[in-house]
Structure 1
Amino acid sequence: MELRDRIGQALKQAMKDKDQSRLATLRLINAAIKDLEIANRGSDDAAALGDAEIRAILAKMVKQRNESVRAYEEGGRVDLAERERAEIAVIEEFLP
């Protein structure tokens, strides 16, 4: 199964389960994928993104959140650091 399909199924399941934090993270993933597809429309790579490109997006998202966790902890905002860690856990489900 393609990675995009797995993300879509996880999104639907989060809606059914009314898991708002997971749902928000999955929507962020979809938005990042669509943003890159829109950015690529003008170039020769106008085809849909493959699993490798999606994994690169996910890895970038994890890296950004790890940096945020570090900054929040240095600033004493443990609550925000925990929220970022929860997002990292959801994103990492789709990474090998």
Structure 2
Amino acid sequence: ALKSAMKTQDKRRLPTLRLIQAAIHDRDIANRGAGKEPASDDEILQILAKMVKQREESAKAFDDGKRPELAAQERDE
């Protein structure tokens, strides 16, 4: 998906996919330091759920702060 977004120069998907990839990579590094296996599918789902929750909270905060353009950007991500 990342390569596809890069080829099509998708300005919305590309940064989001990079954020997801970085979060998964960070978890893999943390697991390696603790002597565990790379991130499992369940861990990846937890990471994605956490990221969605963060974006929803940020969008709500931007709406409350009268910044609809930033709220829309957070929802797109």
Is TM more than 0.5 here?
yes
Unaligned runs of 5+ in 2: none
Distance 1:75 1:59 in 2: 24
- The counterpart of 1:21, out of the listed 12, 17, 20, is 12
Equivalent position to 1:60, from 50, 58, 73: 50
1:36 CA drift (Å): 1.0
Structure 1 letter corresponding to 2:26: D
Percentage identity across paired residues of the two chains: 58
- Computed over aligned residues only, the root mean square deviation of the Cα atoms, in angstroms, reads 0.9
Q: What is the rounded CA distance, in whole Å, between the counterparts of 1:48 and 1:16 in structure 2? A: 28
**4+ residue segments displaced more than 2 Å:** none
SS of 2:12 mapped into structure 1: helix
Q: 2:70 aligns with which of 61, 80, 84?
A: 80
Determine which structure has greater relative contact order: mean sequence separation of CA pairs < 8 Å that are 6+ residues apart, divided by chain length: 1
Using the TM superposition, name which of 48-57 and 74-83 deviates more.
Answer: 48-57
Structure 1 Cα separation of the partners of residues 21 and 50 of structure 2: 14
Quick check: 1:31 aligned with 2:14?
Answer: no
Correspondence for 1:44 among 27, 35, 38: 35
TM-score by length of 2: 0.94
How much has 1:21 moved relative to structure 2? Answer: 1.8
Size of the aligned set, in residue pairs, is 77
User: What stretches of structure 1 of length at least 5 have no aligned partner?
Assistant: 1-9, 88-96
TM-score by length of 1: 0.76
